[in-house]
A and B are shown apart, each in its own frame.
Chain A
Amino acid sequence: MKGSIFIKVGKFLMKHGNLKICIVDDQKTYFSDNMIQVANSAGFKSIERYFIVDKQLMKILLENPPDIIILDIKGIAEEDVAKDGFGIAKVLFDNTNTFVVITSAHKFFLHETHKSYDYMIKERLLTAVDFVEELALIVDIYLRSKVRIYKKMIFRIGFSMVKKAIVHKV
Chain B
Amino acid sequence: MTLPTVCLRCSTKSCEKYPLGELYFCEYDVAFIKLDKDILRKETLVPLRHISENLRHALNPVLNVIIEELNIIEPNLSLRRIDLANPADKALAATKIIDLFIQMISGVNEFRPSITGVQEDQPRKLISIINKYYKIYSVLKSARRNPDLRLNAPINENVFLPICPDIYEYLISILIDNAWKYSLPGRELRVEINMKNDTTADLMFMNESRPFSSDFDIFGKGQKAIKNSEGLGYGLYWAKILIDYYNRLMHKHSNPLELQHNQVLMSDTLSKQYFIIVNIDILEKRTLL
Contacts and interface: CB of A to CB of B under 8 A. Distances in A.
6 contacts: A29-B61, A29-B65, A105-B56, A112-B116, A128-B75, A169-B128
B267 to A, nearest CB: 40
Contact of B92 (A113, A120, A122, A127): A127
A interface bracket (residues with beta carbon within 8 Å of B): 35 or more
A38 B268 CA distance: 56
A130 B120 contact: no
B111 to A, nearest CB: 6
Given A106-B57, A109-B111, A170-B122, 19 more contacts: A105-B60, A106-B106, A108-B107, A108-B112, A108-B114, A109-B112, A110-B114, A126-B67, A127-B67, A127-B92, A128-B77, A129-B76, A130-B78, A130-B79, A141-B120, A168-B81, A170-B81, A170-B124, A170-B128
A4 to B, nearest CB: 17
A137 interface: yes
Interface string B213-248: 000000000000000000000000000000000000
A99 B112 CA distance: 26
Contacts of A128: 71, 75, 77
B23 interface: no
B16 interface: no
Interface of A: 27, 29-30, 32, 34, 38, 74, 105-115, 119-120, 122-130, 133, 137, 141, 145, 168-170
Contacts of B65: 29
Interface stretch (B95-103, B252-260, B273-281): B95-103
A127 B70 CA distance: 9
Nearest to A140: B122
A165 B75 CA distance: 16
Contact of A109 (B76, B79, B106): B106
Interface of B: 53, 56-57, 60-61, 63-65, 67-68, 70-72, 75-81, 92, 95-96, 99, 103, 106-107, 110-117, 119-122, 124-125, 128, 166
A126 B76 CA distance: 12
A34 B128 CA distance: 27
Contact of B68 (A32, A108, A113): A32
A125 B68 contact: no
B116 A122 contact: no
B112 A111 contact: yes
Nearest to A134: B122
Nearest to A124: B99
B238 to A, nearest CB: 10
B154 to A, nearest CB: 19
Contacts of B111: 108-109
